[in-house]
Amino acid sequence: MATLDPATQSPDRRARLTPRPLVVVGGGEHAAVVIDAARTNPDAWELRGFTDPNPGVGASDRLGLAYLGDDTAVSDRLAPEHAEASWFVLGFGAPPEGRRASVERFGRSMRWATVIHASAWVSPGAVLGEGTVVLAGATINAGARLGRHVIVNTRSVVEHDVRVGDFAHLAPGTIVGGGAAIGDDTFVGMGALVRDHVVVGARATVGMGAVVVGDIPDDTTIVGSPARVPPVSGHPEG
């Protein structure tokens, strides 16, 4: 886990940066949001293009970026002076295991950017792992520690001293209370609330609008308010 580069946090520090070449991995809808976030920090990032094995029709026009081919061809399409200097960021959101597999395909040689929208607040006392993306209006408060390739989506709130595992995705409008923990590869749906000091396990799925008031085991799907494991089809509760 790498400490957040403080140069991305305050406007006066951003102005001292030399923009770094940035390549977005993925050409879908989420990629456009990540690209917008990078564009709010032009002193930090200079967007070079995007990669995708199967880009949709008109993807390059829609994203406003050059198509660089699939993941394996990207270095051939970048100018030599930018190939080795480039940074990369994942431009697709779910499922977490798909994002993890993409990173593994690239191998350990890639440099993964931490991209933060200019309207987000990230405490100087927070720690963000490589490849993490923090989108518009999100808040990450003091003492929070986020792993690698986490998505903190639009207007999500990660309170003080929260722990978020690698490849977790907090969908728009989620709120995670102080001292809570979210496991690796876990997805928390739109508008979900996680109570302070609750532990949500690895590879869990928290449904949209769920209210989590107790610990959740690994590999569990929960829904509702208060959140509960949904009944198996054909076997209603009670």
Give the residue numbers annotated as catalytic, written as ranges: 160
C-alpha–C-alpha distance, residues 203 and 84, integer Å: 34
C-alpha–C-alpha distance, residues 38 and 31, integer Å: 11
DSSP 8-state class, residue 150? -
C-alpha–C-alpha distance, residues 175 and 190, integer Å: 9
Comparing CA positions, the residue from 23, 101, 115 lying closest to residue 67 is 23
DSSP string, 37-106: HHHT-TTTEEEEEEE-SSPPTTHHHHHTS-B--STTTHHHHS-HHHHTT-EEEE---S-HHHHHHHHHHH
